[in-house]
A and B are shown apart, each in its own frame.
Chain A
Amino acid sequence: MQRHTATEFGRLVKRVEEKTLHPARLNIGSRLILCFVFIILVMLAADAVVLWQFQVVRAQAERLNGIDQKLVTLLRVHASLLEFYAGLEAIAQTQDAGLLVKEAGALRTVALNDIQHAVSSFSLLPSDLQRDPNFLPTIHVIQSSLTSQLETIIKLATSGDWRAVQLRLSNQVRPLESMTSALVEKVDHDAAEQRTETVLNAGRVQRLVFMIVPTTAVFALLIAATLGLAITRSITQPLARLLEGSKALARGEFQHHVAIQGQDELAHLGQVFNDTARRLRDLYAVLQSSEDRLRLVIDTIPAHVWSAGPDGTVDFINRRWLESTGLSLENGGWNWSSAVHPEDLTRFVNSLHLALAAGGPMECEARLRQADGKYRWFLIRNVPLHDELGNIVKRYGTSVDIEDRKQAEDALRQAQADLAHVNRVNTMGELTASLAHEVNQPLSAIAANGHACLRWLSADPPNLAKAREAAERIIRDGQDAGEIVRRVRALFRRAPGEKDVLDLNEVIGEVLRLLGGDAGKRGIEVETDLDKKLPAVVADRVQLQQVVLNLVLNGIEAMDQVADRQKTILIRSAWDGPNAAVVEVQDNGAGFENPERAFEAFFTTKQNGMGMGLAICRSIIEAHHGRLWVASNKGPGATVCFTIPLKTSGTQ
């Protein structure tokens, strides 16, 4: 039952809301003011009803009061008449005419005053109380007869007829007294009747008041609640729609449209919201197209473009790169370790960490894996983006394909190294050819002489003289050949040509630059440990370079067969006592089985070696007053060392 009432009430509210007070016809302010005004009016009406009821109650009370007053006035008129007659009788008893004339006027005045007073009081009573039609005529009769009676009495008294006076008094004044008495009785009876009626009225009114006042209050409250609810709903519903719209906007749904009703502030707000959303949508479209354009540029430029967070995590790479690597950011397929060649990874990561730690730019050349699994050389550059406070918020980088350049560089280095090698081989070759020719001549002669000798001996008869000559020539030519070999060795041992003041480390550096590509191509790590404070040496630059080049090439060639460890060449320069520098070239290759044999001419451990290298090196170093020797390593490989006097030692 209660629920039924509640739904009824809800429906009513809704109807009121929809029809009477359709939301948003008015501005919220006006709507609220109207609502409050209405509520106040309702309350005033309720108050008026209450006041009216109180007025009804009070009217009954006043009526009672009026009835009482009427009775009192009548009683006073009755008493004053009685007093008037009593006074007259008393004077009549004295039969003093003078006194009577003297007193009668006063008595008459008092009585008339009282009657006059009663009439005026009666006229003041409410009209419904004046319904007794006999009252006022009776009073007027009394008033007029009183005056005439008194004059008659005075006349009689003056004539001294006291008897007539007394008779008059008892015969004519007494009926007046009875008249008033009858009136009093009637009025009293009326009053009693009216009082009863009034009390009944008051009780009825009181009951009515008890009913009407709460009913009015409840009614006013209900109206106020209904209105309040309606107004609240008319505000909260558009607000909810706006809220939903703003949430959609926050989610990036620029297509969201807020439904608008009426013309109030919320409708205006909704309009503004929709306009804003549309402009945002337009702006977003413009932004999108601008971003598309930018993206197109980024995807099309002939470089790999990427960005990373402040910690170096890559969060964007352009399409060119994605296509060339075949990797993608989405499925977590991108990380540097899968992109960078394993051999370059450590160097690259160090470079990146260094740049991250220093907050500066980074530049690194590394091989990157392509979609086909091959690696190409890239120049990877990266710069940080700072915010107002100087914190790095982003890192932007490019990677440019430098494979061709790198190959050209490698080819150049290879060409240089080859040239150096060819030069060396050529020099050696020429030397060898010349040496071979030199030795070949006496050897040919020896062979020919040998055959001649045999033929002279086997002739018939043997020509011993000719045979002897031939044999003697064999001996002579043999000695010749020996002399040639001695001369060649002397050639290598001859004093160096032009001597310059040289920085030993610089010489080593030049050789290493020449060898850079060759060593890299063979996967050899070249390390240096150079004493930067070494004084200059005095030496033939080319010969010294030849020695270092020879030693390093020997080392590189000795490591050709190494597969189970990183091939490493270490070149160290240091003091050797106060007057000399020592250069050590250490490899971890095959090493020497018999170090001393290494210096024999034509001794080689290499399949295509000539076996002249170390011998010539030693000749050159000894010509410079230094020493050259081979030391075995603790681990695999060998170390070839040479000393060379420093300039300060006074060697020239």
Chain B
Amino acid sequence: MGGLLMAWAQWLETTPWGYPVRTSLWLYPFIQLIHFGGLSLWIGTSAAVDLRLMGLGRRRQTAGQLSDQLFAWNWIGFAIMLLGGFLLFSATATTFLVNAAFLVKLTYLVPIALVWHIIVQRKARTWGKNEETPASAKLAGVLELALWLSVVTAAVLIPSY
């Protein structure tokens, strides 16, 4: 399994997308921009819903309405972020595979945060039906924010490993 993954990583580095991202002088930061631009939309939309579930901020809309309205750009942001992330990974895949911070980020933190995000998104309609949200919704919002903060923490630590 480990050998197979490593072989895949080695192949990724030679692909028509992995190779240029690694070797070009100017391409890498633009790919980072794709990753971070998508992530901005993802965090901007997710945090707005989480904070509304927590009962913070303006109350022009219920959490349910807000979640519905931000839904499309939430997932557009996710798709952009994923594309950028995959390209960045492809560029130096073999080093990422042995980076402890990256492995913790991708195998534990991101899946947990993502599953929780989907649960919160599905429950937002019932939790966020009225202007006032129940205590469980507030807790769910705090938890999601904390989970994405932990993902960013692992990401920030990648260069130190």
A binds B: no
